[in-house]
Amino acid sequence: MGQRENIKPGLGGVLLALALAIASTGMAQAADDYLSILEAEASDTGDSAPTAVAPEKPAAKSEKIKHVTPGKIIEPGLSFEDFEETLSNRYSGSNFLYIKLTAGKRKGVYKFYQSDNRISSVREEIVRLLSSG
């Protein structure tokens, strides 16, 4: 019968296991931090953004009235630089993803914002562009 060799983890194996444990803990913390940022951004109801004006005549029952609360839209008419600054200052969760886009795709998000300035729509566009590669 053959002799069995005792396999003992070397220092490299122990360090690798330790590094993997630390990295997974760090990634979980980063994910929690990012989710906290997005939750705070979603609950943003600051007064700095303009609100939609209510219609003067009552709407028919078949028409849906969309109420926009303050903080849920990005101020219309911003320059590209001001748009990026607003994302950075007020919507850090969306900005976290936005900065991962190429310069061309960032310009595309800006063009999209010019036609739909709701932060939820802009956020969806950012995610769509990120996932499209």
Kindly report, residue by residue over 64-121, the tens digit of the pLDDT: 545 545 568 999 999 999 999 999 999 999 999 999 999 999 999 999 999 999 999 9
Q: What Cα–Cα distance (Å) separates residue 65 from each residue in 58, 72, 99, 105, 120?
A: 10, 16, 34, 32, 17
**What tens digit of pLDDT does each residue of 6-17 get?**
555 565 555 555
Token pair, residue 50, equals 């303009």
Query: What are the backbone angles phi and psi of residue 16, rounded to the nearest 5°?
Result: -65, -45
Phi-psi region of 101 (alpha: psi -120 to 50; beta: other; left: phi over 0): beta
Cβ neighbour number for residue 7 with a 10 Å cutoff: 7
45-74 pLDDT, tens digit each = 444 444 444 444 555 544 554 554 556 899
pTM of the model: 0.51
Q: State the pLDDT at residue 132.
A: 86
> What b/e readout covers 46-64, taking b as 16+ CB neighbours within 10 angstroms?
eeebeeeeeeeeeeeeeee
**Region 13-35 average pLDDT:** 59
Q: Domain-by-domain residue ranges, the chain?
A: 11-53+67-131
Q: Which two tokens stand for residue 111?
A: 């063009």
